[in-house]
Amino acid sequence: MSNLHVFTDYQSQCQEAAAHIAKLINDKPNAVLGLATGSTPIGVYQELVRLHREENLDFSQVTTFNLDEYYPMEPSAPQSYHRFMREHLFDHINCQNWHVPSGEVRNSDQIELDCIQYEKMIADAGGLDLQLLGIGRTGHIGFNEPGSPLNSKTRLVLLDYQTRADAAADFFGLDNVPVRAITMGIGTIMAAREVLLLANGIKKAAIVHEALEGKITSKVPASLLREHPNAQFFLDKQAASELTEYARPWLAPNADFRDLTLRRRALISASAEVGKALNKLTANDLQQVGLGAFVHQMPSLEAAIQEVERDLQSRLDDNRFIPEKKNILCLSPHPDDDVICCGATLYKMNERSNNVTVAYGVSGSNAVRDKDVLAMLRTRHPRLAKYVEENLKEGQSYQDAFDEIRQFLFEREAGQPDNLMLRNLKRLVREGEASDACRKIGATPRFLDLPFYYSHESKSQAVGDGDVKIMLQLLRDTTPDIVMLTGEKSDPHGTHEMCEETFERAAKIYLQEGGKAFVRWEYRGAWEEYQAGEGDFYSIFDKPLMEIKIGIILDHISQLDPMFPGTTDPREFYERARDRNRATARELQQLGVLPPSRSFDPIYAEAFQVDEGK
Ligand code: F6R
């Protein structure tokens, strides 16, 4: 697709999108822009603000129309798209003529009239020159959920469950997320002279694949954009990762099988597809699954298979991958990603006399239930009671402070964030749990409490120099030989991605100032898992170690029955970890590189991507 542009990272994706918009404004100073909210365009707005400040990009004659707004929604509420647009863009540029559909409460006749008026304003402005879009995991554009008619116009709509679940963290709980919204229609979007859809992050990969390579259908509203005469799709590598070219490169017409990694992945996928162990694969099987070119390029298929088997087997070897007496730094975005994803391997690392530090990126306080804090305060949990006692106001007793917290909880409005006292108590809950877990794996905990985590209150939600400074200090203090990072970016609030960005910025400075080079490991398991063939090292373990791992995950008591389950996956985190680790081991068993096991004595595997080169 010539209108598909894949960027190595979010930053370059946003810079390019902003440059595209800036060019339009320079060519047509009174351009009419359709704008979007959500996490996706934040970087584009940052870059537009920079272009305005540093390169005099002039918005004085520009008119903008936003796609949508929740309903009901006060414009000043922290979650409102009015507020979002002011904070991310309009407070920082010279654009006066901007519009966002109103979410203020009114009767349905009035809403209908306002929607007609919104369409009229767009038409009177001359129609949209360019519509900027994100994509929801339902495939929605604007808030046009699956089934939205092609000719739909601005109207009041119902939001899908998935869309509301994805917004739950912003609203401090699913129940606070409005069920309705006002959105431009598909027809309004399709009438724009150009559309620019942006998607980033692994959590968008599946829907991007459906929208760009599946059927063109109103069941996947974004797929309809393929019929737009001038649609551009800007993706980062992660969002593009399920497109055939990236997900199954061995099926590409120009696949070059001199590359062992490609041979390995091709054979693993063939083996899974035909349901045979590697050493049972025949030339015929490979032809059947579209790997005729592989057979053709290999002088001996048998030798090629044996080589891949040997390679894979060496990837199950602890002795090759787990060092001794080294400094290991595991960066866990939330307090529990570490144990869910690498609990068994951290345990093994400690057994080999490594010096293991687990650094927790954010406090995770948003995911602690109010009632759990109240229960702990009432029973005077030592850690929490100590904090309350140390922070008593003058003349206040413990009971007074407890009553004050309770009063705040009962009086606060839906969606209002925690006050400082409550936030700190919740932080302490999670720090206590993580400290217990670390003790069992012999690791030293470090709580970074990165400030960006709290910035959703001001909707700034960007990694700042303060975050980077904390991370840099961590690297200087721990001088790691291996850094374990999350390779999964699908957490509901984008926290994993922001922790990663913080790390990348800090690591760059650390290495520039002469810090020791380190090997990177990436892990998954809390929200998703590597597919067969994607791992570089499979850390194999038995049932007793899985029991220890589950015990450690269960130390995170506040995360039982999680507040932000993220997907529709109803399983507890320890169940997800157990099932995923079992499934990974089972895949290796089916490939024939790991011996079979009895059902009462299963084998498990944690998968890692190891990059020594970066
Ligand atoms: C925003 C909008 C939505 C978002 C989509 C993706 O105005 O209409 O369609 O673009 O939900 O949201 P993020 O970017 O937060 O993943």
Ligand 1 centroid to Cα of residue 142, in Å, is 7
Pocket flag, ligand 1, residue 103 (CB < 6 Å) = no
Centroid of ligand 1 to alpha carbon of 167 (angstroms): 10
In this prediction, residues 126-146 reach a mean pLDDT of 98
List the one residue out of 301, 286, 298 whose CA is nearest residue 259.
298
Count CB atoms within 10 A of the CB of residue 570.
Answer: 9
Atom of ligand 1 nearest to the CA of 38: 15
Residue 41 alpha carbon, nearest atom of ligand 1: 14
Pick from 186-190, 310-314, 453-457: least confident: 453-457
Residue 458 has pLDDT above 70, yes or no: no
Task: Tell me what pLDDT residue 20 has.
Answer: 98
Residue pLDDT, tens place only, 185-218: 999 999 999 999 999 988 899 999 999 999 999 9
**Could you tell me if 418 and 47 are in contact, meaning their C-beta atoms sit under 8 angstroms apart?**
no
Rounded to an integer, the average pLDDT of 289-307 is 96
Does residue 194 have an active-site annotation?
no
- Amino acid residing at 129: D
Residue 68 Cβ contacting ligand 1 at under 6 Å? yes
200 Cα: distance to centroid of ligand 1 (angstroms): 11
pLDDT at 424: 97
CA 294 to chain centre: 35
Mean pLDDT of 316-338: 97
Which of the 8 DSSP states describes residue 7?
E
377-419, pLDDT tens digit by residue?
A: 999 999 999 999 999 999 999 999 999 999 999 998 877 889 9
Q: Is 432 in the pocket of ligand 1 (CB under 6 A)?
A: no
**Residue 614's pLDDT is what?**
47
Closest C-alpha to ligand 1, atom 8: 142
Q: Which atom of ligand 1 is nearest to the CA of 40?
A: 14
Centre of ligand 1 to C-alpha 37, Å, is 6
Structure tokens at 259: 């590359």
Whether ligand 1 lies within 6 angstroms of the CB of 37 is answered as yes
Atom 11, ligand 1: residue with shortest CA distance:
136
Cα–Cα distance measured from residue 396 to residue 414, given in angstroms and rounded to the nearest whole number: 28
Predicted pLDDT at 244: 87
Q: How far is CA 43 from CA 39, 46, 81, 417, 494, in A?
A: 8, 5, 16, 24, 13
* Alpha-carbon span 417 to 374, nearest angstrom: 16
141 touches ligand 1 (CB under 6 Å): yes
**At residue 5, does pLDDT exceed 60?**
yes
Nearest Cα neighbor of 195 from 13, 52, 20 is 20
- What is the rounded average pLDDT of the residues 495-523? 95
* Per-residue pLDDT band at 456 (split at 50, 70, 90): low
Distance 106 CA to ligand 1 centre (A): 24
- Per residue in 71-121, pLDDT tens? 999 999 999 999 999 999 999 999 999 999 999 999 999 999 999 999 999
Per-residue confidence band for 460, with pLDDT thresholds at 50, 70 and 90: low
CA 434, CA 338: separation in Å to the nearest integer? 9
Instruction: For ligand 1, say whether the CB of 182 is within 6 Å of any of its atoms.
Output: no
Q: What is the CA radius of gyration of the chain?
A: 26
3-state class of 566 per DSSP? Answer: coil
State whether the beta carbon of 36 lies less than 6 angstroms from ligand 1.
yes
Question: Which sign, positive or negative, has the C-alpha torsion 522, 526, 530, 535?
Answer: positive
Which atom of ligand 1 lies closest to the CA of 201?
16
Query: Which residue type occupies 315?
Result: R
pLDDT confidence of residue 490? 63
Per-residue confidence band for 170, with pLDDT thresholds at 50, 70 and 90 = confident
pLDDT for position 613: 63
- Going by pLDDT thresholds of 50, 70 and 90, the confidence category of residue 487 is confident
pLDDT single digits (tens) 214-235: 999 999 999 999 999 999 999 9
131 lines ligand 1 (CB under 6 A): no
Lowest mean pLDDT among 118-122, 154-158, 226-230, 569-573: 569-573
Ligand 1 mutation target, pool 73, 84, 143, 225, most atoms within 8 A of CB: 143
Measured distance CA(156)–CA(70) in Å, rounded: 9
Crossing angle (nearest 10°) for helices 260-274 and 301-314:
100
Average pLDDT over the chain, rounded to an integer: 94
240 three-state secondary structure: coil
Q: Is the CB of 78 under 6 A from ligand 1?
A: no
Q: How far is the CA of 240 from the centre of ligand 1 (A)?
A: 17
Q: How far is the CA of 264 from the centre of ligand 1 (A)?
A: 37
Please tell me whether the overall predicted TM-score, pTM, comes out greater than 0.85 for this model.
no
Q: With a 6 A CB cut-off, is 142 part of the ligand 1 pocket?
A: yes
Residue of 16, 47, 119, 145 marked active site: 145
To 10 degrees, the CA torsion angle through 540, 541, 547, 548?
-90
- Give the model's confidence band at 565: pLDDT under 50 very low, under 70 low, under 90 confident, else very high: low
pLDDT the model gives residue 533:
83
Residue 495: burial class (beta carbons within 10 Å; 0-12, 13-18, 19+): buried
pLDDT for residue 344 = 98
Which residue minimizes the CA distance to atom 4 of ligand 1?
A: 134
Q: Would you state the pLDDT for residue 489?
A: 66
Q: What is the mean pLDDT of residues 29-48?
A: 96
Residue of minimum CA distance from atom 10 in ligand 1: 134
The residue contributing the CA closest to ligand 1 atom 5 is 136
Does ligand 1 have an atom closer than 6 angstroms to the CB of 200? no
Q: Residue 348 Cα, ligand 1 centroid: separation in angstroms?
A: 42
